[in-house]
């Protein structure tokens, strides 16, 4: 224990109540993200993470709460890293997740450490660094792993394999992940695995199909994931990727209602990574041989979004 009775800006060292407030802030930010996306929430998350980190760095905490404060700060870093990812601040996300991972390891918080490693693999896939993602996931999957954590890491593995063009292995991994989720939540699964559900694995399977060049097969998977998804940010993300797939296959009849719903949501959800994709999709629709009703709507939505 190296903490001291050093005051912080409020004149008091961090205690158990302060640690609880850090955790409560993280959960509140997660709830906001589910509905609103990461763009506008990210500054608050970074401020909370850095404030807790300053307490640790200065020693302004009671020795008795040291481990809990380190663990709560690691969790706050994971939340901030996710929000930076959704806000398409990828460099910030990578920087914060490395700091968060170090803290969770120092605290001995293995459950949060696994979450942070899965985040690193997710971001490697997003940045099209599949070999990096495989190094993370395959090293972990060799160990004994809680079932839903293993399912998530297998999803990351499947996406990486799809990016490498290994279709059979990729689809087998994703099917394995989906099958393992059918057992429900076990006592061994960390609390953070609540969001790993059928919609999540269907979306990733659709994305893998798209990365393998089979956009026709991707469409029903992305449509179904959107139907099952809870929370506006997740549904917005799924619908934009569905619109992208429909544009690739030229199914304009199906694309029109999806575009209508996406246009109605884009001002409500601050998911910059999704909106950046939407801009590219809209520009492609405008330039494609789409019916005038679809092309005009895409053009009007694009002008609103610039």
Range name among 77-81, 158-162, 177-181 with the lowest pLDDT average: 177-181
pLDDT on residue 176: 95
**pLDDT, tens digit, 9 for 90 and up, residues 96-118:** 999 999 999 999 999 999 999 99
C-alpha to C-alpha distance for 81 and 46, rounded to whole angstroms: 9
- Domain end, chosen from 108, 140, 165, is at 108
Domain tally, the chain:
3
- Assess whether 20 and 42 both reside in one domain: yes
Q: Is 3 within a domain?
A: yes
Say what angle helices 272-287 and 66-86 make with each other, to 10 degrees: 10
Mean pLDDT of the chain: 93
- Assess whether 259 and 219 both reside in one domain: no
Q: Is 97 within a domain?
A: yes
Sign of the CA dihedral 89, 244, 262, 204?
negative
C-alpha to C-alpha distance for 149 and 186, rounded to whole angstroms: 11
% of residues, the chain, pLDDT over 90: 87
160: pLDDT strictly greater than 50: yes
Domain housing 266? 231-306
pLDDT on residue 289: 86
Helix ranges, 212-271 (H):
215-228, 232-249, 252-265
Residue 290 · residue 246 · CB < 8 Å: no
- Assess whether 92 and 30 both reside in one domain: yes
CA dist list (Å): 41 to 141, 270, 276:
33, 9, 18
- The separation between the first and the last C-alpha atoms of the chain, rounded to the nearest angstrom, is 52
Q: Half-sphere exposure (CA, 13 Å, Cβ side) for 34?
A: 11
**pLDDT, tens digit, 9 for 90 and up, residues 222-276:** 999 999 998 899 999 999 999 999 999 999 999 999 999 999 998 899 999 999 9
pLDDT on residue 221: 98
Residue from 190, 140, 145 nearest 160 by CA: 140
pLDDT on residue 139: 82
- Assess whether 285 and 223 both reside in one domain: no
Range name among 96-105, 157-166, 199-208, 297-306 with the lowest pLDDT average: 297-306
**Full-prediction pTM beyond 0.85?**
yes
% of residues, the chain, pLDDT over 70: 95
pLDDT on residue 4: 43
- Assess whether 100 and 168 both reside in one domain: no
pLDDT on residue 11: 63
pLDDT on residue 7: 41
């Amino acid at each position: 224990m190296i903490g001291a009775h050093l005051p912080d800006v409020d004149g008091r060292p961090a205690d158990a109540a302060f640690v609880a407030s850090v955790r409560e802030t993280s959960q509140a930010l997660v709830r906001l993200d589910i509905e609103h996306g990461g763009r506008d929430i990210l500054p608050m998350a970074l401020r909370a993470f850095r404030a807790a980190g300053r307490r640790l760095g200065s020693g302004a905490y009671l020795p008795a709460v040291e481990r809990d404060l380190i663990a709560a700060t690691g969790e706050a870093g994971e939340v901030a890293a996710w929000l930076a990812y959704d806000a398409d601040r990828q460099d910030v996300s990578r920087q914060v997740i490395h700091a968060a991972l170090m803290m969770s390891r120092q605290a001995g918080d293995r459950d949060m450490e696994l979450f942070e490693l899965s985040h690193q693999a997710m971001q490697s896939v997003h940045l099209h660094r599949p070999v990096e993602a495989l190094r993370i996931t395959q090293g972990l999957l060799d160990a004994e792993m809680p079932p839903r954590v293993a399912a998530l890491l297998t999803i990351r593995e499947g996406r990486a394999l799809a990016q490498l063009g290994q279709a059979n292995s990729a689809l087998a991994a994703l099917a394995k992940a989906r099958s393992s989720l059918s057992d429900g939540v076990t006592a061994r699964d960390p609390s953070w695995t609540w969001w790993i559900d059928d919609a999540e694995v269907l979306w990733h399977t659709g994305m893998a199909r798209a990365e393998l060049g089979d956009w026709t097969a991707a469409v029903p998977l992305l449509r179904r994931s959107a139907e099952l998804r809870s929370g506006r940010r997740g549904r917005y993300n799924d619908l934009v990727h569905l619109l992208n797939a429909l544009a690739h296959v030229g199914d304009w009849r199906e694309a029109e209602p999806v575009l209508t719903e996406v246009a109605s949501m884009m001002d409500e959800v601050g998911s910059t990574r999704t909106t950046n994709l939407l801009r590219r999709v809209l520009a492609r629709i405008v330039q494609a041989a789409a019916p005038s009703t679809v092309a005009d709507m895409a053009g009007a939505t694009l002008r609103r979004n610039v």
